[in-house]
Amino acid sequence: MEIFGGAQFEHLQSSYNAVGWNASLTGNFKHVLGITGDFSGVYKSRATNSSVYTYTVGPVLTARLPVVQPFVHALFGGASASAGGVRDNAFAMFVGGGLDLGFRKGIGFRLVQADWLMTKFGDQTQKDQGRVSAGIVIKF
């Protein structure tokens, strides 16, 4: 079992970048294979306050090396966005991976997690975005 918590930067549109948090819980049922539940929120204040929350789950494949653990995942779920009092929900999909460093006494660092995010809100066309996260990993 691993718990991750950290900060994230998300590029949602050509003129919309936001910062926020990212948290995940991973259960490993094989040495290299597990399932991850990922939750995140980003916020931006300009003319109107806006936020995007994602909640996804999916398989993760991790190389269990002595010092670093690279991983890849595909996560599927939903996204909720609000701006200026208007709210919308949509399908969300993350595909990406990252690199965790060290697990001395159960604590490590996620040096980077980079994901491609696909959403489709309302009648809009598919939106392709990206996010980058980093933070602390606690392993039980």
> Could you tell me the domains of the chain?
2-139 (2.40.160.20)
pLDDT of residue 126: 67
Q: Which residues of the chain have pLDDT under 50?
A: none
Q: Quick one: how many helices (H) and strands (E) in the chain? A: 0, 8
Task: Please tell me the pTM assigned to this model.
Answer: 0.89
pLDDT of residue 12: 72
pLDDT of residue 50: 87
pLDDT of residue 125: 61
- The residue among 136, 129, 44, 42 whose CA lies nearest residue 94 is 129
Which tokens hold the place of 139?
Answer: 């392993």
CA separation, residue 127 to residues 38, 58, 96, 121 (Å): 19, 20, 16, 8
pLDDT of residue 30: 87
pLDDT of residue 107: 92
